[in-house]
Structure 1
Amino acid sequence: MAVRLLLHFLKLPLAGRILAMATVTILFFGVTIHIVEPKVFPTIFDGVWWAIITASTVGFGDFVPVTVEGKLVGIILILVGAGFLSTFFVTLAATTVQTQNALNHGKAAYKGKSGHMVIVGWNERSRYVIKQLIKLDPSTRIVLIDESLNEKPIQDVNVHFIQGSADQDNILIKAGINEAKTIIITADPSVSEVESDMRTILQLIAIKGINPSVYCVVEILTQRQINNANRAGADEIIESNSLSGSVMMNTILNQGISKALDVMLNQNHGSKVEYRPVPSELLGQSFNMLVQKYYNDEILVIGIKKRGETFVNPPFDMKVEYGDELLLICGHYRSSSSNS
């Protein structure tokens, strides 16, 4: 039994061990002074109270030893107990500073709630995503992994920084990869597009190797690496060069279209583009009927997703089937609250 208690004691952090020793010391001297001077200290609680006040050097004077033995107990308590308490508070302060430094420099493992989001790579895109997520839902838990940063770039309590490369198992475990809900891997702007895609795919393989079920969104810059990203297990691929090129091309043909796209995609502007499963009561209906039905709820249906392929503005007579999803433009709160 004693050996087991000693092992548990040794496993405690330094501040915990010092606090435990200080507690035992206070209890010991509180009981001792009660035994030595029972008239002055009629209860053990009175003795413990005196020991705490004496060891902390506050000295209220409501209990004072009167015998030589009692005073010797007080002297030993001051020499021993005050040292323990002082050491405890100094150690506690040092531990707090070390913990804060570890958090700021990305050395501490994530120990928050499960279901968090992991973002790999620090750049303007990840900065934008993090700020927008926090703005939409301040309770969102985000872990940022980056090897180029030396300290946490965003001072938000819900953003946890891990310094390192996302292709290393120990870094991914630090980020709580096994309990993460979604992972976004952004392209590295400091290297060539080909090398950036290779790093992205390597990180994706490492992530899926640890947690195959986590939803992975990856940014790919070159068309020829799309198939490799799919083979590596990407759940969704963002072709950023292709997307930006399409926006530029449409802006050339239709001036001002980029502003309209920004309003449509930017959730802070009051609209949200999302997929939603087709309600069972609407199965077999035509696209035209769906447009009219959702229009009454102030939701715009702009497409149908069938077997992984999205049809934007399909023929009005196209029927929806089981497993199809609707592509909608709707407001934030309506989209989350409406069951239509």
Structure 2
Amino acid sequence: MSNHFYISFLRLPLLIRVLLIALLVFLTFGVIIHLLEPITFPTIFDGIWWAIVTASTVGYGDYVPRTLLGRFTTVILILLGVGLVSSYFITLATTAVTRQDALSEGKIAFKGNKHIIIVGWNERSRELIRKLTLLKFPQTIVLIDETLESNPVQSRYVHFIQGRSHMDETILKSNIDQAEKVLITADRGDDELQADMNSILTLLTIKGLCPHVKCIVEILTAEQVGNAVRAGADEVIQSNKLTSIFMVNSLHSKGDGLLSDFVHHLQESRLEVSSVAEKFAGKAFKDIYIELYEHGNLLIGIKRGEKTFLNPSHSLQLEKDDQLLIIS
């Protein structure tokens, strides 16, 4: 029984062990001084108070041993207690610094919920994190990357995890079960096909651990889009295709930068997908457009099944299963 207690004690954190030993010393010397000088220390609590004050070198002087044996006990307590108290505070400071370093280096698991997980550190994820942390009500972000040595963002809303994103251990540290969404960005430093394969491998790992979490994955090559969908991607972003569309529009424009201005303003707004309200079913697109516009929202199209219609005919009647594409 005593051996089991000793092993359990050794398994406790160092800070807890030092604190328990110090408390035991204070209790022991408090009882001893009470027994040696019951008049000066009428209760055990008075003795414990004296032991704590003496060992911490505060020395208020409200309780002072009168006998030679009592003073000899005080000397032993000072020699023993000061070392214990100093060890406790040194251990406390060391633990705090060690934990802070581990947190910065991405070694601490995330314990929160309703967070966004972003896989990969690059210019796109940097800009995205910056915008998300500047929102009025920021959402906690968990950044996963294996190339970084420490958290690149000094924000209390960003938790960094260092490790390979296709490893179960790394993904589990992000508390994937409680996550709201996952964004997997492509590593443009690699070969594009290899980058897509790494993204799909990460996607498979995440969906294998938590099938219900919504995953958005960036794919660079068009031929890997189907594989990403088969792997469980809820949404695929073809960043190269988006870039080429932007370039084509720029080439066909008159150099007035209208597309750049539009994209810039779109950054300050939000594109939302909303189900058709019961009161909108059967109404014309134009009527719903006017009603939403009066509330500061811009209706740009509808999504019907697998098809998306941008700026459809104003007379088009909406169905109850349609979804509205709104810039708010």
Question: 1:30: Cα distance to partner?
Answer: 1.8
* Structure 2: gaps (5+ residues): none
Question: 1:285: Cα distance to partner?
Answer: 1.4
Q: Could you state the TM-score of these two structures normalised by the residue count of structure 2?
A: 0.94
In the comparison of the two structures, how many residue pairs are matched? 326
> Could you tell me which amino acid in structure 2 is paired with residue 197 of structure 1?
D
Q: What is the distance in 2 between the residues matched to 1:63 and 1:308?
A: 83
Q: Find the counterpart in structure 2 of residue 133 from structure 1.
A: 132
Q: Find the counterpart in structure 1 of residue 247 from structure 2.
A: 248
* Structure 1: gaps (5+ residues): 331-340
> Could you tell me which amino acid in structure 1 is paired with residue 275 of structure 2?
P
Say if 1:7 and 1:325 are closer, same or farther in 2 by CA, change over 3 A.
farther
Task: Work out whether residues 103 and 160 of structure 2, in 8 Å CA contact, stay in contact via their aligned partners in 1.
Answer: yes
Question: 1:210: Cα distance to partner?
Answer: 0.4
Q: What is the distance in 2 between the residues matched to 1:96 and 1:183?
A: 31
Is 1:72 the equivalent of 2:107? no
Q: Find the counterpart in structure 2 of residue 216 from structure 1.
A: 215
Say if 1:288 and 1:139 are closer, same or farther in 2 by CA, change over 3 A.
closer
Equivalences for 1:217-236 in 2 at 5 Å?
217-236=216-235
Q: Could you state the TM-score of these two structures normalised by the residue count of structure 1?
A: 0.90
Q: Counterpart of 1:132 in 2: which secondary structure?
A: helix
Q: Find the counterpart in structure 2 of residue 17 from structure 1.
A: 17
Q: Find the counterpart in structure 2 of residue 306 from structure 1.
A: 304
Q: What is the distance in 1 between the residues matched to 2:283 and 2:10?
A: 69
Task: Work out whether residues 250 and 257 of structure 1, in 8 Å CA contact, stay in contact via their aligned partners in 2.
Answer: no
Q: What is the distance in 1 between the residues matched to 2:106 and 2:74?
A: 46
Deviates more, 1:72-81 or 1:290-299: 72-81
Q: What is the distance in 2 between the residues matched to 1:288 and 1:10?
A: 74
Q: Find the counterpart in structure 2 of residue 261 from structure 1.
A: 262
1:243-288 CA-partner distances (Å, limit 9, x unpaired):
1111111122234232233234212xxx322112221221121211
> Could you tell me which amino acid in structure 2 is paired with residue 266 of structure 1?
Q
Q: What is the distance in 2 between the residues matched to 1:306 and 1:260?
A: 29
Q: What is the distance in 2 between the residues matched to 1:57 and 1:147?
A: 48
> Could you tell me which amino acid in structure 2 is paired with residue 85 of structure 1?
V
Is 1:202 the equivalent of 2:225? no
> Could you tell me which amino acid in structure 1 is paired with residue 130 of structure 2?
K
Say if 1:319 and 1:11 are closer, same or farther in 2 by CA, change over 3 A.
farther
Question: 1:7: Cα distance to partner?
Answer: 6.1
Query: Equivalent pairs: percent with the same residue?
Result: 46
Deviates more, 1:15-24 or 1:188-197: 15-24
Q: Counterpart of 1:304 in 2: which secondary structure?
A: strand
- CA RMSD in angstroms comes to 1.8
Q: Find the counterpart in structure 2 of residue 282 from structure 1.
A: 280
Q: What is the distance in 2 between the residues matched to 1:247 and 1:232?
A: 28
Q: What is the distance in 2 between the residues matched to 1:274 and 1:60?
A: 67
Question: 1:4: Cα distance to partner?
Answer: 7.5
Q: What is the distance in 2 between the residues matched to 1:18 and 1:204?
A: 45
Runs of 4+ off more than 4 Å:
1-8
Equivalences for 1:1-340 in 2 at 5 Å?
9-111=9-111, 113-137=112-136, 139-254=138-253, 255-267=256-268, 271-330=269-328
Q: What is the distance in 1 between the residues matched to 2:251 and 2:130?
A: 30
